[in-house]
Amino acid sequence: MKQWKRKMGLLTFVGGILLVAMLASLASSTWATPAQNDDTWNNTIPDKYSNKSLVGRGESAEFQILVNHPITATDTWYSTVVTDTVDANLQITGLDTTQGSASWTGQNVTFTIGTILPGEWETLKIYVRVNDDALSGHNVENVAYMYHQGWKWVASEPKPWMFCVAYQQYMPLAMKRFP
């Protein structure tokens, strides 16, 4: 019996020490604050959106690319460039940027933004028209790539598709007028 009490006392003591150590580690700032490092790739990914989810042949759509320089960063981005290869089923009709210049050759778009300070956002737009011969039901996939001096190329988050080419709509026979 004495030996059993001794073992229980030892287990209680060890359990108490472990409990105190666990509570001390939960109270430390390492749990509350994520690790800080220079790998901020996830914060610098350009975000890309389409203004429509379903676009018919001959209709227009717009891609918007948001480039965010994290406010927590301490460096200035120099020579910032965003490139994009637009789907072959689309015709580029125009470009717009809040800073720098934009141009396209064939299906390849280049935005030359230049310098971006911490906390700044730049908005880039690609205006497109769906070709008349685009396949109905075709999912238009599109990814933008960003680079700035001293960093590697970073791709926008892959999405299964930006928008779908709408199916042609036919009137039911009952609605057609016959002579």
The two beta strands, 108-116 and 101-105, are: antiparallel
Q: Which H or E run includes 24?
A: helix 2-27
CATH number at 106 reads: 2.60.40.740
pTM comes to 0.68
In this prediction, residue 36 has a pLDDT band, given cuts at 50, 70 and 90, of: very low
Residue 58 lies in a domain: yes
Q: Calculate mean pLDDT across residues 4-33.
A: 62
Per-residue pLDDT of 134-164, as tens digits, reads 888 888 888 889 988 878 888 887 665 678 8
Check pLDDT > 50 for residue 39. Answer: no
Domains held by the chain: number: 1
Structural domain harbouring 90: 41-164
Q: Considering only CA atoms, which of 80, 66, 73 is closest in space to residue 116?
A: 80
Q: Calculate mean pLDDT across residues 96-121.
A: 94
Average per-residue pLDDT in the chain?
A: 79
Beta-carbon contacts of residue 173 (< 8 Å; ≥ 6 apart): none
Residue 27 lies in a domain: no
Residue 86 lies in a domain: yes
